[in-house]
A and B are shown apart, each in its own frame.
Chain A
């Protein structure tokens, strides 16, 4: 497995930094103004790390402060069923990850039913991608928790 270049990994690191500013990024992109509330979905962020990928350890360390950190194999099914989906049913949450592109594809598609959308993606190596999925401002989606979206309003 080729090692990730320092430049690509720094780009991926920017995704983690984006966790801190994502609400404002999302808001600006959608013509929205954030209310002076702490971003609930940021506090509830979930980190998904595919074991065995280059830089999995670094990613784990970088996201260790998040309330939920999940390590998976190639199959995201158990992580989705046991942790991610129940969490998304309960409350809006951002998801950040280091996985294969195929796993991101399946997770992204399922998360869209909860009103989430892919915010950032960096292909860090041929085998792996880091990404950030966040609640889409103003989104309507069939499985979106009813209370979500209340912290944003159109400017």
Chain B
């Protein structure tokens, strides 16, 4: 049997679980070691160590009313709860609670697609709806709307949006929090709130107009612990007539400067609609000692790198166009014209599609996420035969301005950090999920042994601290490192963090929800933690 939450006696814990069983039924309260193991963080950087974050139990409700009852019981016993939607954000902590001993509120059974409006191009879903569920619903019902899916696509719309995840399609949809419109939330005190136009009971525009009347509060429910989101609206993308995937390469290392300047401009003028990935096929190779040496130098010259490249394209940019074919052709022609000034630039249309696609065509699409199709391709493609085994990874996710100098500098800085710790540098790629920044995802491996994980934690912390000091703070961070993350957002002696905890005290006065998430602690634990 898992241990009860800290500060709760075994007797009170068992009494609270009995009360939860009365609410959801005994089949849906999990409190054996085997059942609770489901909620371990499969990629934990603390796997098997005493500090590994563990749940004490889990409860799986099916309705808002049940959630209100659960919150009421938790308030009565001061039982710490940790709600998850599908719990699949493995590189950021998965379904394991930040505060060990919390009871996971597993919302996977709340998986109803409450509404899809074809005319308005919107949907309203519960938190357990996965990208697979939503895609299947649209396709099976012949609804020609697209979702924008996270990668991999096994997560859910609500959880990914609340964690501020991103996707690959057009600008209005791929920033998943930005693409939401209206939510329903059970607050820490048990009250049910609808945001935006949803607060007006007869409004026909809950999923159409975000702001409603008065302060817009949706933002405080993302990366936070003020409530349990039970419904969320999203804007869906109209299926285009066609799509084209394109690739541009430039030959020299320094070409990334004009390349990114033009790409950013093309995104700002809405010529490029999709997420754009910029990576170096040269720098992202593996196993070559000379490549490792150059990456480890933390500042090898352009001349050194260009010599190493031996004429191979140094940078590659990939994106998609969507719309009527004649419009795609015009956009692509305009983009080529703008980029033609880079000596040696090469253009390729790598794939084109006319919609709707048949099932076999869907199966054959290699870059499914660019067409709003959820996939697990990330798993299949990331492991090469004979690769050194690791169990998972953390995502180090610094945000940089979309400038070539910054991408090169980040690559140099991270390469040096790895080398200083005696490790082989990982590749860095820039992804333009958001219109005016690049996220440079970078995987740091995790293991199932403490010695390797200790090294991983040291590396990860150094990466996060150094990048913040260089002007590239992260946009999201694994649960174990959220204290570090907030420390690096500490302007004016942590004024933002103090504001977060002031809100916590007001909205969740007994501090029962997701204690410690993004370093927001309830008062009683804050005082204990000093």
Contacts and interface: CB of A to CB of B under 8 A. Distances in A.
Contacts of A139: 34-35
B154 interface: yes
Interface size class of B (residues with CB under 8 A): 35 or more
Contact of A106 (B106, B135, B152): B152
Contacts of A113: 38, 108
A127 B362 CA distance: 25
Interface string A1-43: 1000000000000000000000000000000000000000000
Nearest to A86: B136
Nearest to A99: B380
Interface stretch (A57-65, A68-76, A90-98): A68-76
Interface string A83-112: 001000000000000001111011001101
Contacts, number: 85
B447 to A, nearest CB: 14
Interface string B1-41: 00000000000000000000000000111101011001000
A130 B28 CA distance: 32
A81 B136 CA distance: 7
Contacts of A66: none
B93 interface: no
Interface stretch (B249-257, B368-376, B418-426, B470-478): B368-376
Contacts of A155: none
A126 B386 contact: yes
Interface string A112-155: 11000000000001110000000010011111001000000000
Contacts of A100: 379-380, 383
A147 B38 CA distance: 20
Interface in B26-62: 27-30, 32, 34-35, 38, 42, 58, 60
Contacts of B58: 142
A81 B42 contact: no
A82 B376 CA distance: 13
A76 B376 contact: yes
Interface residues of A, number: 32
B363 interface: yes
Contacts of B132: 77, 80-81, 85
A109 B136 contact: no
Q: Which of B27, B132, B154, B380 has the most CB of A within 10 A?
A: B380
Interface in B247-285: none
B375 A143 contact: no
B389 to A, nearest CB: 8
B368 A142 contact: no
Given A106-B154, A146-B27, A141 B35 contact: yes
B144 interface: no
Given A81-B136, A106-B154, A142-B28, A136 B34 contact: yes
B44 to A, nearest CB: 13
B492 to A, nearest CB: 42
B28 to A, nearest CB: 7
B108 A142 contact: yes
A140 B58 CA distance: 10
A106 B154 CA distance: 9
Contacts of B108: 113, 142-143
Interface string B153-192: 1100000000000000000000000000000000000000
A101 B32 CA distance: 28
A41 to B, nearest CB: 18
Interface in B358-415: 359, 362-363, 368, 373-377, 379-383, 385-386
B380 A142 contact: no
Given A77-B368, A81-B132, A81-B135, A109 B42 contact: yes
B109 interface: yes
B106 A77 contact: no
Given A140-B28, A142-B108, A106 B379 contact: yes
A1 B386 CA distance: 10
A142 B95 CA distance: 13
A85 B42 CA distance: 21
B2 to A, nearest CB: 13
Contacts of B106: 142
B154 A75 contact: no
B27 A76 contact: no
Contacts of B38: 112-113, 141
A105 to B, nearest CB: 6
A75 B368 contact: yes
B376 A106 contact: yes
| Residue with the highest number of chain B CB atoms closer than 10 Å, among A76, A80, A136, A141 | A141
Contacts of B34: 136, 139
B362 A102 contact: no
A95 B362 CA distance: 24
Contacts of B375: 75, 77-78
Nearest to A104: B379
Nearest to B87: A113
Nearest to B389: A101
Contacts of B381: 74-75
Given A75-B368, A139-B35, A105 B363 contact: no
B391 to A, nearest CB: 9
Given A85-B132, A101-B383, A140-B35, A78 B152 contact: no
Interface of A: 1, 50, 73-78, 80-82, 85, 100-103, 105-106, 109-110, 112-113, 125-127, 136, 139-143, 146
The 9 closest A-B pairs by CB, nearest first: A74-B380, A77-B375, A75-B377, A127-B385, A102-B383, A77-B376, A142-B108, A81-B132, A102-B379
17 contacts: A74-B381, A77-B152, A77-B153, A77-B154, A77-B376, A77-B377, A78-B375, A81-B132, A102-B380, A109-B42, A113-B38, A127-B385, A139-B34, A139-B35, A140-B27, A141-B38, A142-B58
